[in-house]
């Protein structure tokens, strides 16, 4: 069997309820020169049975012990035979033109090795919300765009040869996809295809809410903050010439605010206020606005227990 154009890496862990829909979205692609590598990260549900129900020689399954999504993606990349690497999570879907859009650009620029991205839609409580589409005139450096917009790893197509030097950081619980994308973009060009071709479900995006509901929430917060600090420390000189000097503190403040709001929703008032105070390291106007909103929500939550957590 000849090597395909695209290798799609799909990590999964106990997502038997969703993975069938994700696989079906690959099978109906307009562009059919692909392989789908599913990496089961130690599932204990019916994931394997669901995968085995799809009979297609282009679909392969790698089973491993539970080591996290970054480890699973790295295993998939190592096994990939395609010229380009794409990603899909087990609860998300490609629209039929997803691979076709990438292939159309590649066919028109066969000698160009470049990171490609399409647009991604969030499905949030039944509403479809479009993520940002990068425009140079509006956003400036694409690295600034990646760091300030949730762009989603499933919307990217990356030449496999770029992974000879880079991989997902397996010691990071969060921010691992953004960390990788920024590292790659510091070395390679980027192009935005202004078409929406994939959809991510909201429950895959509510990381801070999930962490806030757990007893070791502080560990989750610290790992997320550490990832941002590590990125700016390891790429200090390169980022200095690409993004504003205040961006690091802005990202840290935004992340602390995100967790502060999640903790507040869980009625964990003391850690919520402590986490909020750590957001005060940034004074940008948009951060100040969100800080003000938190201060308004705090007494409302204390007195009326509103809003309640959405399950």
* pLDDT at site 211: 59
Contact 5/74 with Cβ under 8 angstroms? no
Closest among 12, 189, 191, 160 to 91, alpha carbons compared: 12
Instruction: Using DSSP bridges, classify how beta strands 59-64 and 34-41 pair: parallel, antiparallel or unpaired.
Output: parallel
Contact 12/57 with Cβ under 8 angstroms? no
Low-confidence ranges of the chain (pLDDT < 70): 202-213, 309-311
Coil vs helix vs strand at 23: helix
Closest among 96, 80, 86 to 24, alpha carbons compared: 96
* pLDDT at site 77: 98
Nearby residues of 261 by Cβ (< 8 Å), 6 or more positions away: 208, 272, 294, 297
Nearby residues of 191 by Cβ (< 8 Å), 6 or more positions away: 105, 114, 115, 116, 117
- Mean pLDDT of all residues belonging to the chain: 93
* Structure-block tokens of residue 150: 């949730």
* pLDDT at site 311: 46
Distance from C-alpha of 150 to C-alpha of 131, rounded to nearest angstrom: 7
Distance from C-alpha of 42 to C-alpha of 12, rounded to nearest angstrom: 8
Instruction: Using DSSP bridges, classify how beta strands 34-41 and 6-12 pair: parallel, antiparallel or unpaired.
Output: parallel
* pLDDT at site 90: 95
Q: CB burial class (10 A; 0-12, 13-18, 19+) of residue 151? A: buried
* pLDDT at site 20: 98
Contact 29/99 with Cβ under 8 angstroms? yes
* pLDDT at site 126: 82
Fold classification of 6-204 is: Spore Coat Polysaccharide Biosynthesis Protein SpsA; Chain A (3.90.550)
* pLDDT at site 209: 58
Closest among 257, 258, 261, 232 to 147, alpha carbons compared: 232
* pLDDT at site 216: 80
* pLDDT at site 125: 77
* pLDDT at site 114: 97
**Radius of gyration, alpha carbons of the chain:** 20
Q: Which helix (H) or strand (E) holds 269?
A: helix 269-277
- Residue range(s) in the chain whose domain bears CATH number 3.90.550.10: 6-204
Strands (E) across the chain are located at: 6-12, 34-41, 59-64, 84-87, 93-94, 115-124, 127-130, 156-159, 190-201
* pLDDT at site 204: 40
The residues facing 84 across adjacent strands are: 6, 159
């Amino acid at each position: 069997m000849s090597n395909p154009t695209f290798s799609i890496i799909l990590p999964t862990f106990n997502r038997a309820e969703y993975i069938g829909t994700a696989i079906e979205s690959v099978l109906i692609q307009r562009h059919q020169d692909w392989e789908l590598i599913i990496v089961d990260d130690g599932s204990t549900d019916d994931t394997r049975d669901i995968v085995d129900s799809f009979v297609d020689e282009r679909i392969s399954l790698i089973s491993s012990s539970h080591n996290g999504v970054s480890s699973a993606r790295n295993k998939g990349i190592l096994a990939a035979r395609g010229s380009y690497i794409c990603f899909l999570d087990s609860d998300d879907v490609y629209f039929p033109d997803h691979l076709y859009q990438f292939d159309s650009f590649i066919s028109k620029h066969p000698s160009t090795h470049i990171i490609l991205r399409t647009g991604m839609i969030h499905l949030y409580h039944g509403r479809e919300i479009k993520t940002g589409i990068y425009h140079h005139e509006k956003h400036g450096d694409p690295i600034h765009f990646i760091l300030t917009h949730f762009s989603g790893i499933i919307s990217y197509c990356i030449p496999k040869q770029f992974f000879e030097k880079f991989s997902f950081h397996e010691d990071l619980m969060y921010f691992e996809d953004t960390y990788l994308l920024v590292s790659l973009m510091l070395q390679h060009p980027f192009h935005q295809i202004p078409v929406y071709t994939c959809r991510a479900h909201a429950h895959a995006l509510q990381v801070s809410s999930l962490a806030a509901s757990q007893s070791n929430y502080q560990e989750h917060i610290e790992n997320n903050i550490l990832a941002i600090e590590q990125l700016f420390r390891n790429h200090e000189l390169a980022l200095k010439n690409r993004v504003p000097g205040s961006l690091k503190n802005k990202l840290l403040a935004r992340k602390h605010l995100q967790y502060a709001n999640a903790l507040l929703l869980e009625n964990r008032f003391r850690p919520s206020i402590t986490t909020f105070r750590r957001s005060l390291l940034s004074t940008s106007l948009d951060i100040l606005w969100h800080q003000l909103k938190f201060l308004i929500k705090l007494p409302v939550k204390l007195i009326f227990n509103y809003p309640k957590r959405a399950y």
